[in-house]
């Protein structure tokens, strides 16, 4: 599968903002995007039971537009 354009750049930006975090909470995604936590929970998948999203998945989602 081919990487989306901007995926690597987004992943690097996420990793720089949250070093050592492979899993992001809704609050961290909200901080990164500037959206509210409520909006983030509606727009992005935070599967149970952990209720976190991987940095790679988040980068992939925001790269797809």
Q: Is the pLDDT of residue 2 over 90?
A: no
Q: How sure is the predictor about 54, in pLDDT bands with cuts at 50, 70 and 90?
A: very high
Q: What average pLDDT does the chain have?
A: 93
User: Exposed/middle/buried for 14, CB within 10 Å: 0-12, 13-18, 19+?
Assistant: buried
pLDDT digits (tens, 9 = 90+) for 22-49: 999 999 999 999 999 999 999 999 998 9
d(CA 49, CA 59): 21
CA-derived radius of gyration, the chain? 11
Model pTM greater than 0.85?
Answer: yes
7 close to 60: Cβ distance less than 8 angstroms:
yes
Q: Domain coordinates of the chain in residue numbers? A: 7-63
């Amino acid at each position: 599968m081919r990487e989306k354009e901007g995926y690597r750049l987004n992943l690097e930006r996420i990793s720089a903002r949250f070093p050592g975090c492979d899993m992001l909470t809704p609050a961290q995604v909200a901080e990164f995007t500037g959206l509210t936590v409520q909006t983030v929970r509606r727009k992005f998948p935070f599967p149970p039971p952990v209720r976190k999203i991987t940095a790679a998945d988040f980068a992939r989602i925001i790269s797809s537009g």
